[in-house]
């Protein structure tokens, strides 16, 4: 009887095991395995830090793949900006394997593995959110936005949680195979950006995906698939709920991608520019403001494509400058010119901080660039000599040139400063304009009444 019972149990278990193996088989069959000779990814273009990270994880018995933007960029023959690794090892396990590593994040826990100056971001395969989950690990709000995402899963689960098919490709450096669950390689070859799953649900889970669609299509010259594009206009308002700090990070990526002009054009076409930088839509609707912003973005794009760095403070100072000018005029009714400028700067920064949190370290430089602008109009006496030695002179000067180019101030002012900066000290002195500012008259100290000597009366 007992034997019969045991046989029954074991048979059930065996059957279950066969079923699981079949499921596994289906899982792996649902991914296309693309061999090297089809994708031709050149391993020399992959950072050695990323290769060492995968090797370390694989040697410890885990699965490890290079994933996301890097694989997509390699297929498109772009040099990847950074490398991400996905694994079935949990953050603590990854942390134990690599001596120089640390677990970061709360909403999305992952591990940074450090190799010299390079950091590789290692994330554990993400799983599905279901109703029985622990709220500490995964949760969404009323509109379906994902607030926390620490539920781990299989490789296939991980692929389905990624945003676009082109971003869900897994490259195994050991076998040089690409695993493709959602036809990403075909989409990349067709230069198409296509959302995985149902676009409306995916945008509700994370509205930032709308901005990512714009940025990636501008940066990589990919066309946004029709079904992926269609819901964006009506869901644009969801961006209002995104925390300002996350919005700031995403805007920064967008504007510093080297394709800012193209991004703005797509943002406008998708009606996504309203309410982002709350003032950006206003700025773009004033002819002088628009010209200035576009020139600043063009300037940033050119610098980045030439491999130069671009200072985010400069860019945000430019985006908000015409708002500062407007507020400055109003404040000058109640205060002298310079204090009025400071009041205007504070007002503009405060107003937009509610929606888009510009980091404080950028705000102080933005304000320095703005505050130096009136000083370019003072070209007499010792002032130009002092201005030219200011640590932010270069940024403020470039900013002033954009003001000339956009027609806000006379080009002659920009030319004067360019010549002044390159001139010898005698020539500089000769260039100074006559000092027309009324001289401050020293107030004479009132004569003290003669102190009568004691007892002289
Ligand atoms: P970039 O070239 O700008 O780095 P990227 O696609 O690599 O583009 P990352 O922010 O580095 O962007 O993200 C890495 C990967 O993580 C993406 O390729 C994608 O698979 C996944 N990912 C990032 N953000 C999201 C998101 N909001 N929703 C779903 N998946 C995302
Ligand atoms: Mg990336």
How does DSSP classify residue 434? P
Which DSSP helix (H) or strand (E) runs through 261?
helix 260-269
Contact (Cβ atoms closer than 8 angstroms) between residue 86 and residue 112: no
Distance 73 CA to ligand 1 centre (A): 12
Quick check: helix, strand or coil at residue 6? helix
* Residues sharing a CB contact under 8 Å with residue 9, sequence separation 6 or more, in sequence order: none
Model pLDDT for residues 294-344, shown as the tens digit of each residue: 999 999 999 999 988 888 999 999 999 999 999 999 999 999 999 999 999
Question: How confident is the model at residue 26, as a pLDDT?
Answer: 40
Does the pTM surpass 0.75? The reply is yes
Averaged pLDDT of the chain: 86
Q: Which residue has the higher pLDDT, 60 or 361?
A: 60
Instruction: For residue 101, report the phi and psi dihedrals to the nearest 5 degrees.
Output: -150, 160
Could you give all domains of the chain from N- to C-terminal order, each with its CATH number? 25-194 (3.30.460.10), 292-434 (1.10.3090.10)
Confidence of residue 248 (pLDDT cuts 50, 70, 90): confident
More confident residue, 285 or 232: 232
Cα separation, 346 vs 163, whole angstroms: 38
For residue range 193-242, what is the model confidence (pLDDT) as tens digits?
Answer: 999 999 999 999 999 999 999 999 999 999 999 999 999 989 999 988 88
Q: What is the pLDDT of residue 95?
A: 98
**254-280: average pLDDT:** 83
Coil, helix or strand at residue 12: helix
pLDDT at residue 327 in the model? 95
pLDDT over 90 at 2, yes or no: no
pLDDT tens column, 41-61: 999 999 999 999 999 999 999
Which bin fits 182, alpha (ψ -120 to 50), beta or left (φ > 0)?
Answer: alpha
Angle between helices 312-331 and 393-405 (to 10 degrees): 70
Q: Which of 73, 158, 163, 301 is catalytic?
A: 163
pLDDT at 205 (0 to 100): 93
Give the pLDDT score at 269.
85
Q: 81 to each of 52, 72, 94, 95, 446, how far by Cα in Å?
A: 17, 11, 23, 24, 70
Helix (H, G, I), strand (E, B) or coil at 198: coil
- Predicted local confidence at residue 24, as pLDDT: 39
Look up 158 and say whether it is catalytic.
Answer: no
- 308-313-316-321 Cα dihedral, nearest 10 degrees: -110
Which segments of 61-109 are extended strands (E)?
64-67, 84-87, 101-104
- Buried (b) or exposed (e) across 40-70, using 16+ Cβ within 10 A? ebeeeebbebbbbbbebbbeeebbbbbbbbb
Ligand 1: residue of 85, 145, 162, 184 to mutate (most ligand atoms within 8 A of CB) is 162
Are β-strands 32-34 and 64-67 bridged in parallel, bridged antiparallel, or unpaired?
Answer: unpaired
Q: Which of 163, 193, 213, 247 to mutate to test the pocket of ligand 1 (most atoms within 8 A of CB)?
A: 163
pLDDT band at 434, cuts 50/70/90?
confident
**Coil vs helix vs strand at 431:** helix
For residues 388-404, average pLDDT? 96
Q: Does ligand 1 lie within 6 Å of residue 209's CB atom?
A: yes
Measuring CA to CA, which residue among 373, 378, 348 is closest to residue 363? Answer: 348
Contact 196, 230 (CB under 8 A): no
């Amino acid at each position: 009887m007992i034997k019969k019972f045991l046989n029954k149990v074991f048979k059930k278990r065996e059957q279950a095991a066969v079923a699981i193996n079949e499921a596994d088989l289906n899982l792996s069959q649902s991914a296309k395995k693309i061999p090297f000779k089809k994708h031709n990814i050149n391993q020399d273009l992959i950072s050695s830090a990323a290769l060492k990270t995968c090797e370390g994880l694989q040697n410890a018995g885990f699965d490890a793949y290079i994933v996301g933007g890097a694989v997509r960029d390699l297929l498109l023959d772009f040099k990847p900006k950074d490398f991400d690794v996905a694994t079935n090892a949990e953050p603590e396990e990854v942390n134990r394997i690599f001596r120089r590593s640390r677990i970061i994040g709360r909403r999305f826990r992952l591990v940074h593995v450090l190799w010299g100056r390079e950091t590789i971001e290692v994330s554990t395969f993400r799983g599905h959110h279901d109703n029985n989950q622990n709220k500490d690990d995964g949760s969404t709000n009323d509109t379906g936005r994902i607030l926390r995402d620490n539920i781990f899963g299989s490789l296939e689960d991980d692929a389905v949680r990624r945003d676009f098919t082109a971003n869900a490709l897994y490259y195994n450096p050991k076998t040089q195979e690409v695993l493709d669950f959602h036809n990403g390689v075909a989409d990349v070859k067709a230069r198409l950006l296509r959302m995985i799953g149902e676009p409306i649900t995916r945008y509700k889970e994370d509205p930032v995906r709308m901005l990512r669609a714009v940025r990636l299509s501008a940066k990589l010259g990919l066309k946004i698939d029709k079904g992926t594009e269609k819901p964006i206009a009506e869901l644009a308002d969801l961006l209002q709920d995104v925390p300002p700090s996350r919005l700031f990070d995403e805007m920064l990526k967008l504007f510093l991608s080297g394709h800012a002009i193209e991004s703005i054009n797509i943002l406008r076409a998708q009606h996504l520019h309203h309410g982002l930088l709350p003032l950006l839509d206003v700025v773009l609707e004033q002819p002088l403001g628009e010209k200035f912003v576009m020139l600043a973005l063009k300037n940033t794009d050119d610098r980045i494509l030439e491999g130069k760095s671009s200072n985010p403070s400069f860019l945000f100072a430019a985006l908000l400058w015409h708002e500062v000018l407007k507020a400055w005029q109003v404040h000058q009714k109640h205060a002298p010119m310079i204090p009025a400028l400071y009041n205007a700067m504070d007002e503009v920064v405060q107003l937009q901080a509610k929606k888009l949190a510009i980091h404080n370290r950028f705000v102080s430089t933005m304000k320095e660039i703005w505050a130096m602008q009136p000083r370019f109009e003072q070209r007499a006496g010792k002032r130009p000599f002092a201005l030219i030695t200011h640590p932010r002179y270069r940024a403020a000067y470039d900013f002033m040139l954009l003001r000339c180019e956009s027609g806000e101030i006379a080009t002659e002012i920009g030319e004067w400063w360019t010549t002044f900066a390159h001139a010898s000290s005698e020539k500089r002195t000769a260039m100074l304009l006559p000092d027309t500012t009324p001289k401050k008259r020293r107030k004479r100290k009132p004569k003290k009444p003669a102190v009568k000597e004691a007892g002289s009366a």
